[in-house]
């Protein structure tokens, strides 16, 4: 698969709401769609479809479903986090209010379920409902983590697999199931580990202004992430002041720039370690399917996960 072909597939993927509503709901949703995203998830689903030799048209509905489910989760997340900006665009809850944003997210999910039901593949419909359950479960776990007295990396990984890994898992397992592939467990592992590095990269970006939000929003909202937890691991003296910031006892950032950069570099190295394992798994699959030419495309897709912060590091 040439990169240009993958790009064309993504450009042609229609994400607009086609249903009619008396209210302005669908129009405002389509304005959000027009603001665009990177479409990483449908791109991965199309790539995995090519590994298994599936016709592109057989994947379009599932690619649309996974991207719109992601959109719905972002709309709901913005309400939960009281965010007024995403990708440098005003969020729906800021434009209108929390009520309309929740309704919009619900409408998107209902639309997706209806479209998937028409495909008459109950297993893949159920798989997506499990993803949506995981998204809610992960958000709940993350909320409860705010009050936990001591946060561990295992806590973050569990939340990550639920919140970020679930939809990426769907992108890996759906083409495999459509093709009758037997080793679904490996596809699950691939998707969830890609979700892990995706979240780690997002946690790095959280401390930068590049995200379109003020920096350090996670800890300001009472959440430790991979970078702030790595800070504590590298600099134990920061334990108390970081937890004080997390718990709202102070607003003062306790680390210095060199310490934060050290933590970012350490998380970046963990991402690279996970990437190497993923490339190995994907390469074995491609050799099995005689699709070795897809390996560089997969590597480039993983590299793009780091694109928002890569310029800050010597890669």
- pLDDT at position 196: 96
Alpha carbon of 64 to those of 47, 58, 109, 110: distances in Å?
14, 12, 12, 13
Q: Which of 67, 93, 51 has the alpha carbon at shortest distance from 12?
A: 67
Burial classification of residue 18, based on how many CB atoms lie within 10 Å of its CB (0-12 exposed, 13-18 middle, 19 or more buried): exposed
> For the segment 104-152, what is each residue's pLDDT rounded down to a tens digit?
899 999 999 999 999 999 999 999 999 999 999 999 999 999 999 999 9
pLDDT at 22: 84
Of the candidates 39, 52, 11, which has an alpha carbon nearest to the alpha carbon of residue 182?
52
278 Cβ contact partners less than 8 Å away, ≥ 6 residues apart: 190, 193, 194, 197, 302
pLDDT at 87 exceeding the cut of 90:
no
Tell me if 197 sits within 8 A of 271, measured CB to CB.
yes
Cα gap 49→2, rounded to integer Å: 14
Is residue 190 within 8 A of residue 171, CB to CB? The reply is: no
| Beta-sheet pairing, 89-90 with 85-86 | antiparallel
Contact by Cβ (8 Å): 302, 44:
no
Residue pointed to by tokens 């304005």: 31
Other residues' Cβ atoms within 10 Å of the Cβ of residue 287: 11
Q: Residue 235 in 3-state DSSP?
A: coil
The length of the chain in residues reads 315
Residue 2: per-residue pLDDT: 67
For residues 252 and 175, is the Cβ–Cβ distance under 8 A? no
Task: Give the pTM.
Answer: 0.93
Q: In this predicted model, what pLDDT tens digit does every residue of 145-202 receive, in sequence order?
A: 999 999 999 999 999 999 999 999 999 999 999 999 999 999 999 999 999 999 999 9
- Maximum CA pair distance of the chain? 58
Q: Nearest-CA neighbor of 202 among 100, 291, 285, 305? A: 305
Q: How many C-beta neighbours within 10 Å does residue 300 have?
A: 11
Considering the chain, what is the average pLDDT of its residues? 92
Q: Which residue has the tokens 């593949």?
A: 121
Q: Give pLDDT, residue 83.
A: 78
CB 299 within 8 A of CB 47: no
Q: 3-312 has which CATH code?
A: 1.10.600.10
Q: How far is residue 106's CA from residue 16's CA, in Å, rounded to a whole number?
A: 15
The β-bridge partners of 89 are 86
Q: Write out the H or E segment, with its range, that includes residue 193.
A: helix 184-206
The pLDDT tens digits for 240-273 are 999 999 999 999 999 999 999 999 999 999 999 9
């Amino acid at each position: 698969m040439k990169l240009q072909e993958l790009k064309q597939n993504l450009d042609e993927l229609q994400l607009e709401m086609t249903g009619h509503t008396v209210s302005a709901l669908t129009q405002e949703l389509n304005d959000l769609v027009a603001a665009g995203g990177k479409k990483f998830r449908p791109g991965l689903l199309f790539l995995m479809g090519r590994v298994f030799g599936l016709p592109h048209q057989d994947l379009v509905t599932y690619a649309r479903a996974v991207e719109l489910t992601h959109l719905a989760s972002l709309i709901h997340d913005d309400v939960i986090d009281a965010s007024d900006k995403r990708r440098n665009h005003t969020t729906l809850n800021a434009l209108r209010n929390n009520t309309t944003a929740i309704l919009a997210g619900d409408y998107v999910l209902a639309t997706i379920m209806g479209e998937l039901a028409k495909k008459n593949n109950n297993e893949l419909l159920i798989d997506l409902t499990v993803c949506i359950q995981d998204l809610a479960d992960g958000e709940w776990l993350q909320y409860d983590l705010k009050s936990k007295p001591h946060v561990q990396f295992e806590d973050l990984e569990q939340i990550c697999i639920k919140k970020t890994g679930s939809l990426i898992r769907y992108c890996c397992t759906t083409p495999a199931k459509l093709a009758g592939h037997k080793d679904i467990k490996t596809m699950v592992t691939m998707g969830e580990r890609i979700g892990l590095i995706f979240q780690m990269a997002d946690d790095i970006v959280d401390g930068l202004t590049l995200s379109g939000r003020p920096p350090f929003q996670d800890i300001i909202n009472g959440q430790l992430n991979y970078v702030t937890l790595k800070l504590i691991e590298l600099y134990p003296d920061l334990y108390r002041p970081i937890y004080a910031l997390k718990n709202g006892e102070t607003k003062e950032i306790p680390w210095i720039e060199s310490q934060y950069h050290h933590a970012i570099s350490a998380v970046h190295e963990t991402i690279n370690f996970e990437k190497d394992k993923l490339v190995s798994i994907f390469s074995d699959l491609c050799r099995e399917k005689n699709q070795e030419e897809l390996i560089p495309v997969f590597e480039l897709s993983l590299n793009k996960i780091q694109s928002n912060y890569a310029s800050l590091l010597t890669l």
